Structure 1
């Protein structure tokens, strides 16, 4: 009788274990972004997918949806809050509409180079803001890269802020960007990226601002003749997901997601850095006229932005500036 009970108990345990493994092995998630397969967002997404699927031995499958097929960035973030979108690679700017203080990273001319940005993003301030996203039902996994942003337009070279006067420049739907370009004297047009592409093609706006990789991958040289290397803002991107979906994952999978996201982010940063010089040369070959602007004039023009946001970003801005002072003094 004991032997029979032992056999039955063993069979039950095997059944339960198999059922649990089967349920875990069926985890399928959708990762979305709004840019094309040549963009650094896609590089980060593919690397994350490869790392997670390898680390979980296929227990998790991630399908990537590029080109805004699941919606623009605001739509994706709202879907993540509801749990209808699993995860994505999203520009920091739209994320700030849900967690305003995360826009502190995009204050104009805050970072002198990418290494300063990485140190802050991967340090206490960056981690604290990732954690704060849970207040709005989002789970920040890591900071990938959008990069330093530059101005393009179809009308004239931009060497000083005065050259922006009267130009209709698209910016992200984010107060920091809007106020920055108002301070620079541009006619500011906030809109989603998918709408901006159409507006550029139709000539209803004159220009936009984005990193070199975006200008290249979306062939903006076809509508934009002038590129000004302002590097006015460093823009992170977030590997981010629905907090509801994240909490539904087993704890070991959650840990794998966080580790793989950081690895994918660092990989994307490296690739972006290695490619930027080559992509810039190709833009010149495609006919873009590149100018080196007077950055001192630009910095002077945006001082009012710091006056406005220093109180709003409070401790975060002070902590970032303190960390940057320490980094620069140690050089």
Structure 2
């Protein structure tokens, strides 16, 4: 009898308030074909199942609650509860995040996951708390590649003069300036129109985004540069986090990590198919020798090493 009562007390503790379910508004800026939606749906499934409905998750895709910078600001204010955000805009609030935006920093997905799921990544997550956010897990935007409507890009010389949309992030801006581009920082919500109208010549994103948003309709040329790896932190408003019981916090954090790992695996599984389909859609695909690109962005490391520290950068690079 005592054991039964103990179990009942634990369940009451975990699911306190289940008669009055708490809704978590979970937002992202891309469409339902994107990997962010894959992560969001998995997070919703796990949280609702493991709290037996005490927490419900409502997903708001397509920037319905704002662009990424707006989502970050609204999470800070507690207007938006949670979301999956490309890491790029975070540097504007938490400067330490810029270190992971350095060009050609990560060798491959496994390298990125080892860094982000380890001590370096957890320190970055802790830095988010100064802005009123709780970092839950590192999902994935992925390795970024260059597209444009003008010409094939096989060397940095081919980039010179192209107007390339980049995230609102100084490391990305400086990286593309070093490559000779006219870097145009712009929120994602403005990009499709800018590409259609020719305001910019190109953009850089993972294959998932190029496919999901049919960028092949305005962008003829794709270069597999993999010039940067962009994580996508799953973040919760600290005010929402504090409303959860300790047990619910544990469930939410574990669900976020599992959703992130599920999304990463989905990305990796789908990537070869996306590339094949983009070729079938008529994109001209180049696979350049990246030595010249790495050489061209060396000044970016010279510029940012004093800011982030040689030791930290080398620690990331040397992670096996």
What residue number does 1:228 align with?
A: 223
Q: Which residue of 2 aligns with 1:46?
A: 41
Q: Could you report, residue by residue, the CA deviation over 1:263-305 in whole angstroms, capped at 9, with x for unpaired residues? A: 1100100000000000100000000000011200000000011
Aligned to 1:212: 207
Within-5 A mapping of 1:115-264: 115-264=110-259
Q: Show the counterpart of 1:10.
A: none
1:23 is displaced (CA, Å) by 6.0
Structure with higher Rg: it is 1
1-structure distance, mates of 2:288, 2:236? 38
TM-score (norm 1): 0.91
In the alignment, what sits opposite 1:97? Answer: 92
Contact 1:92 1:235 in 2 (8 A): yes
| Residue in 1 that maps onto 2:311 | 318
Counterpart for residue 302 of structure 1: 297
Helix, strand or coil for the counterpart of 1:69?
Answer: coil
Counterpart CA distance in 2 for 1:24 and 1:227 is 52
- Residues 120, 320 of structure 1: 8 Å contact kept: no
Cα RMSD of the aligned pairs, angstroms, is 1.6
Q: If the length of structure 2 is used for normalisation, what is the TM-score? A: 0.94
Task: State the distance in 1 between where 2:259 and 2:55 align.
Answer: 16
2:43 alignment partner, SS class? helix
Q: Give unpaired runs (5+ residues) of structure 1.
A: 1-13
Say whether 1:267 aligns with 2:227: no
Distance 1:323 1:71, change over 3 A: closer
Decide whether the 8 Å contact of 2:305 with 2:313 is kept in 1. Answer: no
1:87 aligns with 2:82: yes
Find runs of 4+ consecutive structure 1 residues off by over 4 angstroms.
none
